[in-house]
Structure 1
């Protein structure tokens, strides 16, 4: 991700709505996006293969709001590392998803929709590749592409021929026949700061 990259713009837009969110950087390697995008309140998780994660921890030791999680490419083990999903979650995966098998991508979208109500997934891909993700899970509410300035792309030729940044948004909550609380939802009777009392 670069300073003018539309991936950055999408993450910043999400953080403007959810300033205490967790940002998941998939396949970031030794990138420094945390220092570009940090608003002083977010939590940052870099997900990297074990060897890269070990090197990253040496160069960038974990801090109070920034951690590195070791997980194989395409694995879902990092999902459990998100401690407060009710504060918001945006998953940034530039140059990652198009390297995975299509079933693995749909499984990732479904897992994020299930675990992160109200969250978003941002990635880059040509329009033909991104087609069909909207039905990966009932919790997917929108799939849209973004221009570098953060506005929806309006040029069909460019949408078709060149990679674009896509944003998949997940429903804030889903109806469940069991009446159970959605996975990752804030426990009833707790505030955003974790204390007891009415939720904000």
Structure 2
């Protein structure tokens, strides 16, 4: 399986549990994820920098369940564009996070964990890099790596250097803990 196949598999698995979820595709350019993964119920939000968002909207106009938001990935105001986070949110960021500084990625993980309880973040990165940016936040419930088939991923020395697709699952909202800052929204995992 390729990185795209593994990313799609992680998103599909999330959609199996939360079919009405919002998929947030960070920096997907003119990607076709919506058409590959559409289950007829999901909402799709593409987050692109303003200059590329305009091109995307021209070539792939927004639809009833598919929208483009003109924001940089590190500008967390895009989180406000998720209309119904209680239905579930999976953020897909293949090829994006490794280009950001580690503090920006940790800030993104924190923001998503706090705003999207029960959600997930899927991205690709080498093990040595991913383990440094995904841990340490109480809202992170689990981190799982999906590795492409191939000899390199079976050799311990190379395994840490080769990219894997990572799924970071966020803890579900605590029941009875009060509404909290964001209304306690989020699906049970």
Is the TM value for this pair above 0.5? yes
CA distance 1:36–1:98, shift in 2 (3 Å)? same
Greater share of helix: 2
1:128 alignment counterpart: 128
1:12 alignment counterpart: 12
1:24 alignment counterpart: 24
Shift of residue 5, structure 1, vs aligned partner: 1.8
2:76 alignment counterpart: 76
Shift of residue 95, structure 1, vs aligned partner: 0.4
In structure 2, distance between residues paired with 1:83 and 1:74: 19
- Segments of structure 1 that go 5 or more residues without pairing to the other structure are 193-200
Shift of residue 100, structure 1, vs aligned partner: 0.3
2:116 alignment counterpart: 116
| Aligned: 1:106 with 2:106 | yes
CA distance 1:4–1:81, shift in 2 (3 Å)? closer
In structure 2, distance between residues paired with 1:144 and 1:129: 14
1:93 alignment counterpart: 93
1:162 alignment counterpart: 162
Name the SS of the counterpart of 1:19 in structure 2. coil
Aligned length: 183
In structure 2, distance between residues paired with 1:40 and 1:89: 16
Contact kept in structure 1, 2:42 and 2:65, CA below 8 Å:
yes
In structure 2, distance between residues paired with 1:154 and 1:116: 34
Shift of residue 173, structure 1, vs aligned partner: 1.2
CA distances 1:63-109 after superposition (whole Å, capped 9, x unpaired): 11000000024211110000100000000000000100110000000
Name the SS of the counterpart of 1:168 in structure 2. strand
Name the SS of the counterpart of 2:160 in structure 1. helix
CA distance 1:23–1:104, shift in 2 (3 Å)? same
Contact kept in structure 2, 1:86 and 1:184, CA below 8 Å:
no
Contact kept in structure 2, 1:27 and 1:47, CA below 8 Å:
yes
In structure 2, distance between residues paired with 1:158 and 1:13: 28
In structure 2, distance between residues paired with 1:175 and 1:55: 43
**Aligned alpha-carbon RMSD (Å):** 2.5
In structure 2, distance between residues paired with 1:171 and 1:108: 15
CA distance 1:185–1:118, shift in 2 (3 Å)? same
